[in-house]
Structure 1
């Protein structure tokens, strides 16, 4: 687990809420505090869609950030900054499978509960904290290290400047 501090909060939030940089991630949960506290559970209500719609639109267990991003942006846009927000993103299963295969950790994709990116904004600062969850216990931290590096590489490739911070 690493904590990365965004060097330019305005640029980061633009990439998060306006641009498509994070659209491929699934949303585990969102909490945005403005004039109210808005909380979303990213679980998709499977019964809302027909089986045909789920297959056709590739609707998974969680909503994508692409789908929820416009709604979340509508909550934060305006003259006043949000007091805080917390967004927990997860790498989707197909990407988790590819990541597991290329990580060299010797762990299969179906053994990974989730690869997470926790984004927290409060008191004018924005931090991204990586996280991994496995379906079994291991002392080996290879997967964690590889996920941390993958997030650093993702930020670098999307020109998101950040610095390593103490764990928050």
Structure 2
């Protein structure tokens, strides 16, 4: 796990909430503290859909599906005092990176007026080899650097 401080917060938030840059990530959880606390669970509610065809193959909604709602909850005269967005890779992206991992995480957080991104990895079983963690850390670091967020 590695933590990266976002130095260009305005550009990062614009890309996160208004572009398609993060759209393929799945949403695990979103927490927003504004005048009240908002908790959004990214678990897909299959009872909501009329037919099986409408239910996607994933158990979690994508950032593309949820970002508009999150943007609406965050916009206003004042920035939330805190937020946390937990994103994860989809099955295809995860299996392309490693067969030992069930998913990779990207945690985005605003706390004490500082925005950070941290990485995480959920292994399928116990292992002492953390080389896959380092690969994910490096990919996220390159991604954040490429878009000049860090």
TMscore range, shorter length: over 0.9
Gapped runs of 5+ residues in structure 2?
none
| 1:21 match: secondary structure | coil
Stretches (4+) displaced over 4 A = none
What is the aligned partner in structure 2 of residue 2 from structure 1? 2
Following the alignment from structure 1 to structure 2, what is the Cα–Cα distance between the partners of residues 134 and 97?
12
What is the aligned partner in structure 2 of residue 165 from structure 1? none
What is the aligned partner in structure 1 of residue 33 from structure 2? 33
What is the aligned partner in structure 1 of residue 46 from structure 2? 46
| 1:16 match: secondary structure | helix
Structure 1 residue 59 displacement after superposition:
4.5
Following the alignment from structure 1 to structure 2, what is the Cα–Cα distance between the partners of residues 113 and 130?
14
Deviation per CA, 1:10-37: give whole Å up to 9, x if none: 1111111111111110000000111111
| TM-score, length-scaled by structure 1 | 0.84
Structure 1 residue 137 displacement after superposition:
0.6
Gapped runs of 5+ residues in structure 1?
101-107, 163-168
Following the alignment from structure 2 to structure 1, what is the Cα–Cα distance between the partners of residues 92 and 124?
17
> Contact between 2:26 and 2:90, CA under 8 Å: does it hold in 1?
yes
Aligned residues: CA RMSD: 1.2
> Contact between 2:9 and 2:149, CA under 8 Å: does it hold in 1?
no
What is the aligned partner in structure 2 of residue 144 from structure 1? 133
Q: After superposition, where does 1:70-81 map in structure 2 within 5 Å?
A: 70-81=68-79
State the number of aligned residues. Answer: 149
Structure 1 residue 99 displacement after superposition:
1.7
Following the alignment from structure 1 to structure 2, what is the Cα–Cα distance between the partners of residues 150 and 40?
27
Structure 1 residue 160 displacement after superposition:
3.3
Match of 1:96 among 87, 94, 97: 94
| 1:28 match: secondary structure | strand
What is the aligned partner in structure 1 of residue 17 from structure 2? 17
Following the alignment from structure 1 to structure 2, what is the Cα–Cα distance between the partners of residues 77 and 31?
14
| 2:65 match: secondary structure | helix
